[in-house]
Amino acid sequence: MLRWIKGRLLPPLEHIHLIDSGQKILKRLMIDDPLTPAQVLCLVAITILLMTFLPITASAFNSWALVVDGRVLAVSPNRGVLDRAVSEGLAGRGAGAAGVHQLAIRRAVPGEGPLFTDERRLEDVLAACLFPQAGGTELLVDGEAKLVVRDRQVAAALLEALKKEYTVGGGVVTLAGNVSFRDVRVPRERIMDFDEALSFLKTGGKNTARYIVRAGDTLWDIASRCGVSMEELQLANPGLTPEKLQIGQVINTNRAAPVINVICNVQQTEQEEIPFAVEQRKDDELYRGQTRMLQPGRPGLEEVTYQVTYLNGKEVRRDVLSRRVVRESQNQVVAVGSRVMLASRSGVGARLAWPVVGSVSSPFGQRWGRLHTGMDITAGTGTPVRAAGAGRVIGAGWEGSYGNCVEVYHGDGVTTRYAHLSSISVVAGQQVERGQLLGRVGSTGNATGPHLHFEVLVNGRPVNPARFL
């Protein structure tokens, strides 16, 4: 069989060029004798191989290669694609722009170089090879170079996109600082595309700042003050345990530092509630600390126009331009006890003793629309604060807005709380007797002056201390 193929097929193929007419091939393969089934199968297989191989080979030999400095940069079946790419790639750069490079176009060898059919893509590849530096537009803020984009049109579009993103309610938008452009030549890799440049303008750098934990701080408080999320704080402080913050602990805060700050000024009109005033009328039938509602208060309503300033989309300032009262408020009228009852008194049958000598400045009950959960007793800083009854200290330390605070459990679900102390004289777990020193009057926490905030809680709910004194 092989001898038959060699005699019938191979000698003629020695004289067949790769691109020959089908007529010559058929003429040389004229067969007179009948073929066996095996010979037929061989001829079919060879025919399939020739039909597959010859077009590929012909295509390869018909392709053209663009050679730059001896290296095949690109291959294309159309020489015109290569010619135009070279012409466009050199256009506008002067006759000697590529003088330091050797360019040639020749027939391609099968398998060499990447195949290109997109002329624009080929132009970009050729330009990057011949000209590693490219012209661009540099954006400067207060004379300091920040980034480079393709041209001035892109730079201007960036600023417009930045303004649009931070425009609030049709306000007037301005850019902070002096923003300018200049034309430069830089390495191509320094030129940013539009999206990359816009992102850099908004979050360009990172400022690393530190925050020192203060009394009463939580991680949420710190994140809110520093303008970052709790997740960002934890990423910037590996190993940080939010539940175990210590006073004086240093927290790293990484915040975005925009390259250009966008200021938006807008007028906004809002309706706001006017709080009602509380009118107090002395009543000598009531003891000090006791009150009785004579007339409920009703808040008013006013229309306020503000000039609001936003920085990068966040409100940073609000100035009142005008006010117009829509509905007047109605005062709350309260009868206030004026009968003097010394705070050191412990009446017969009273469950608890007064914790400090002084007068009641603010009783238990509604105040400014909120429940005042205890009784404020005015006294000078350092005045002794004593246990209102025997019991066990269940809390002694800093308690946020209460400042220095002591809590004593007296049994039967009754707990007393002593807040805003300047100092504490007991510890948690300690047993105390009625009248024993717990601490001294102060103004720690959320307090406007020295006084004792005294609370009585029954099963965890605040009740009027006057009922127990």
Environment class of 45 (CB within 10 Å of its CB; exposed 0-12, middle 13-18, buried 19+): exposed
What tokens appear for 287 in the block? 């003891």
Q: Do 111 and 146 reside in the same domain of the chain?
A: no
* Contact call for residues 250 and 226 (beta carbons, < 8 A): no
Three-state DSSP at 382 gives: coil
* Separation between Cα atoms, residue 40 and residue 117, nearest integer Å: 41
Distances from the Cα of 395 to the Cα of 398, 410, 430, 441, 465, angstroms: 9, 13, 10, 17, 19
State the total domains in the chain: 6
Residue from 343, 344, 355, 350 nearest 287 by CA: 343
* Domain boundary pick from 333, 352, 369: 333
Residue (of 82, 169, 84, 89) closest to 128 by Cα position: 89
Of 160, 178, 203, the position where a domain reaches its end is 203
Pair (311, 408) in one structural domain:
no
Q: Are 143 and 68 members of one domain?
A: no
Same domain (yes/no): 400, 457: yes
Per-residue pLDDT of the chain (469 residues; tens, 9 = 90+): 444 444 444 444 333 343 344 445 445 545 555 667 766 676 667 667 656 544 444 444 578 888 887 888 788 888 887 788 777 766 645 444 445 677 888 888 887 878 777 777 777 777 777 777 788 999 999 999 999 999 999 999 999 999 999 999 889 999 998 999 999 988 888 899 999 999 889 877 555 678 889 888 888 888 878 777 787 787 778 778 887 888 999 888 776 678 899 999 999 999 999 999 989 898 888 776 678 899 999 999 999 999 999 988 888 889 999 999 999 999 999 998 876 544 444 443 357 899 998 888 889 988 777 888 999 999 999 999 999 999 999 999 999 989 999 999 998 889 999 999 999 999 999 999 999 999 999 999 988 889 999 999 998 899 999 888 8
Element (H or E) spanning 324, and its range? strand 314-327
Q: What's the sign of the alpha-carbon dihedral 234, 238, 239, 244?
A: negative
Exposed / middle / buried, residue 459 (Cβ in 10 Å: 0-12, 13-18, 19+): exposed
221 with 194, same domain: the answer is: no
Do 461 and 399 lie in one domain? The reply is: yes
My answer on whether 119 and 168 are in the same domain is no
How far apart are the C-alpha atoms of 375 and 398, rounded to whole Å? 19
Residues spanned by the domain of 295: 265-333
Do 374 and 420 lie in one domain? The reply is: yes
Same domain for 250 and 367, yes or no, is no
Q: What is the model's pTM? A: 0.43
- Do the beta carbons of residue 17 and residue 57 sit within 8 Å? no
Indicate the burial class of 114 (C-beta count within 10 angstroms; 0-12, 13-18, 19 or more): exposed
Residue ending a domain, among 203, 218, 233, is 203
CB neighbours of residue 333 within 10 Å? 16
Q: Are residues 275 and 326 in the same domain?
A: yes
